Amino acid sequence: MTADLLHDDVASLLRVGEHRYTTSRRQVISVLHTSAGPVTILDILEVDTGLAQSSVYRNLAILEEVGAVVRIVTHDDHARFELAERLTDHHHHHLICTICGSVSDFELTADTEGALNMAFAKVSRSAKFTIDSHRLDLLGSCADCA
């Protein structure tokens, strides 16, 4: 997705949530858009040194509230952030190290995703639950911590 389309989509989400698309929010979205994977607040501040830490916290909370950003909780309740799948059309899952908190993205084959979706559908039917989407986070130790 181009940056212009991304910003248009985020602006729409914010309008629906009755929020403005401020310069700071645009900067946070730009950092997330150019990041190779989920990032911490400190990572965002290192990329865009003009942002204030308190502003990043507030803006991420609002962007998460409207569905533009996803929070990935790692070890000790630390968090990393990434653009929501609805904005990227990139379905993926996460490997989360419970020791250092690193997060790596991974994708499953179409066959594996299909098998998971069938299993999830069976569970949801028996629980009378409607699934909107799914996230799969695998917890363990990264190569550096193992």
Report the SS3 class of residue 78. Answer: coil
pLDDT one-digit tens code per residue, 29-74: 999 999 999 999 999 999 999 999 999 999 999 999 999 999 998 8
Q: pTM of whole model > 0.85?
A: yes
Q: Give the single-character DSSP code of 37.
A: S
Neighbouring C-beta atoms of residue 14, cutoff 10 Å:
20
Output phi, psi for 24, to 5 deg: -65, -40
At 47 the pLDDT is 96
**What is the rounded CA–CA span in Å between residue 127 and residue 65?**
27
**What is the rounded CA–CA span in Å between residue 63 and residue 82?**
10
Q: Give the single-character DSSP code of 19.
A: -
pLDDT one-digit tens code per residue, 97-123: 999 989 999 999 999 999 999 999 999
